Structure 1
């Protein structure tokens, strides 16, 4: 869905929640192949039995990619991603966990070089089926102003 949302339209503390997505064995295998990250934490079930979590954990980069991807149901043609800040992995994610994302508009400020644009910060929380936050980060958007 395309929806023009200008800088002035964003409301601080407004929030949206995405649908969920269950992480599968196939996700881990595909991600390992795409990134080259075959660390035993993700791929070796027997070795993981000797570690703290006792089972394989999902790649942090996969958790991040899925969490961000879930937010892509709204496409704003007058905004573009400026990057991500303060990325933290708070809890491990495991095979068969179901994740959803909560996006909160946490900051708005003028762009220091572009007076016709502003920067909007979306605070992203990725949450599992037990209502535990597993990842947080801030997504910065450059957004056109109306005037």
Structure 2
């Protein structure tokens, strides 16, 4: 069993970062083009007028992806001297629909630091302009040491 090289994790319980973005029709069309997800939910206004939403909605994964920016923002905020990589997300939930033109505020809050595994566990919450939570997840971030010059 290999030993984990320890790093000094630059984040602490309670550290928070936020990121805000208005989701545009262009964002949705570009995301649809990248992923080939052309669901009527996102692209067919007439179809969606007949649904409970009454209009097109933004891809849940696009909303989530916008929120992931907050994990980068918190590392920039603390000027992280060590690299990290996303280890995954737990309990990802799409709670409410996001509509074209909604302004999202993504809040990232460190809940737990595991020094022995070089991981942090943080709450990712995404709110619309009405303060309603639309997406929630727990993000696991794994830090690793820089390699020595060879």
TM-score range (shorter-chain normalised) is 0.7 to 0.9
- Residue matched to 2:69: 69
Q: Residues 86-97 of structure 1 correspond to what in structure 2 (within 5 A)?
A: 86-97=91-102
CA separation of 1:135 and 1:96: change in aligned 2, threshold 3 A: same
Q: Which structure 1 residue ranges, 4+ long, deviate > 4 Å from structure 2? A: none
Q: Deviations over 1:81-100 (max 9, x none)?
A: 21111110010000000011
Q: Distance in 2 between matches of 1:6 and 1:53?
A: 47
Gaps in structure 1 of 5+ consecutive residues:
112-116
With normalisation by structure 1, the TM-score equals 0.82
Higher helix proportion (structure 1 or 2): 2
- More displaced stretch, 128-137 vs 68-77: 68-77
Give the secondary-structure state (helix, strand or coil) at the position aligned to 1:56: coil
Q: Distance in 2 between matches of 1:71 and 1:107?
A: 14
Deviation at 1:109, TM superposition (A): 2.5
Matched, 1:78 2:79: no
Assess if the C-alpha contact under 8 Å between 1:71 and 1:101 holds in 2.
Answer: no
With normalisation by structure 2, the TM-score equals 0.80
Aligned-pair Cα RMSD in Å? 2.0
Q: Distance in 2 between matches of 1:131 and 1:67?
A: 15
- Residue matched to 2:108: 103
- Residue matched to 1:125: 125
- Residue matched to 1:114: none
- Residue matched to 2:41: 41
